[in-house]
C-alpha cells in the first residue's frame, strides 16, 4: 500500500534529520576561522512546485478540479546561510543564537512528522480493525 501522507511524513522526518546534521556541523565549527554557516532550504520550499520544480509527493486527484502535484525530491543540499551581521573578523559566519533557533525549528518539524505518521497509522489500524 503506497500512501502519500506516509511518504510526505517520512520525507519531512528525513529533511529534519539532514538539517539537524548541518546545524550540528555549524555549531561544531563556530570557532573555526573562515568557516561559513550552512543550512538546507525549508521543507516547504522543497515541496512547493513553483520553487523546486517538483514536490516530495504526488497527490491523488479524485476530481478534475484538484490541483496536480509532481513527485520526487532530489535530495537535501546544504547551502551557505548565515544570520545578518554574524560574520566575525576571522571570516566565520556562525551565530550560535541563530543556530539554536534553527535547531528549535528542526525539532518542531521532526515532531510534526512523527505526529502525522503516528496519527495516520492509528487511522489505518482503525479501518483494519473495523472490517
pLDDT of 73: 36
Rg (CA), the chain: 18
3-state helix, strand, coil in the chain (%, to 5): 55, 5, 45
pLDDT of 48: 65
Q: 88-105 pLDDT, tens per residue?
A: 888 888 989 999 999 999
Residue with more model confidence, 21 or 71: 21
Its pTM stands at 0.71
Q: What is the crossing angle of helices 4-28 and 96-130, to 10°?
A: 160
Q: 26-79 pLDDT, tens per residue?
A: 999 898 898 999 999 888 887 765 544 554 455 566 666 655 544 333 467 788
Give the total number of structural domains in the chain: 1
pLDDT of 25: 92
Range of the domain at 121: 4-130
Amino acid at each position: 500500500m503506497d500512501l502519500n501522507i506516509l511518504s510526505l511524513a517520512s520525507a519531512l522526518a528525513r529533511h529534519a534529520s539532514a538539517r539537524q546534521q548541518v546545524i550540528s556541523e555549524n555549531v561544531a565549527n563556530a570557532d573555526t576561522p573562515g568557516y561559513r554557516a550552512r543550512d538546507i532550504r525549508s521543507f516547504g520550499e522543497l515541496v512547493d512546485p513553483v520553487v523546486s520544480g517538483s514536490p516530495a509527493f504526488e497527490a491523488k486527484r479524485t476530481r478534475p478540479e484538484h490541483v496536480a502535484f509532481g513527485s520526487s525530491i532530489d535530495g537535501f543540499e546544504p547551502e551557505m546561510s548565515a544570520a545578518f551581521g554574524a560574520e566575525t573578523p576571522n571570516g566565520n559566519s556562525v551565530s550560535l543564537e541563530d543556530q539554536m533557533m534553527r535547531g528549535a525549528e528542526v525539532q518542531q518539524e521532526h515532531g510534526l512528522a512523527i505526529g502525522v505518521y503516528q496519527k495516520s497509522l492509528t487511522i489505518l489500524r482503525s479501518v483494519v480493525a473495523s472490517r
